[in-house]
Amino acid sequence: MTRQSAFPAVNQKLCKKCGICIKICPRKVLEPDAGGLPYAACQEKCTACDLCASHCPDFAIEVMPTPDNCLSGNDNKK
């Protein structure tokens, strides 16, 4: 995946809100929502390095390709 073509998808049922993914992301893509659940606040910065997914102890993150209709700069802030 190339830059701006991926984002970390967090499985809310598996995530324990430990924050490892937020701390390890070199591009600061993930931020906690009001309840502490990580979300891709700056998905346009994601380079699909997979550090968040590979370090998640709960296997709650998958780096997914961004749908074509999301490449226009829309953000998914909650």
- Among left, alpha and beta (phi > 0; psi -120 to 50; other), residue 51 is alpha
Domain residue ranges in the chain? 6-66
In this predicted structure, what is the pLDDT of residue 21?
A: 98
Greatest extent of the chain over all pairs of C-alpha atoms, in Å = 32
Which alpha helices (H) appear in 1-78, and where do they start and end?
Answer: 20-24, 51-55
In this predicted structure, what is the pLDDT of residue 14?
A: 98
- CATH number attached to the domain at 6-66: 3.30.70.20
pLDDT beyond 60 at 19: yes
In this predicted structure, what is the pLDDT of residue 66?
A: 83
CA distance 5 to 45: 10
At 20-66, the pLDDT tens digits run 999 999 999 999 999 999 999 998 999 999 999 999 999 999 999 98
pLDDT beyond 90 at 67: no
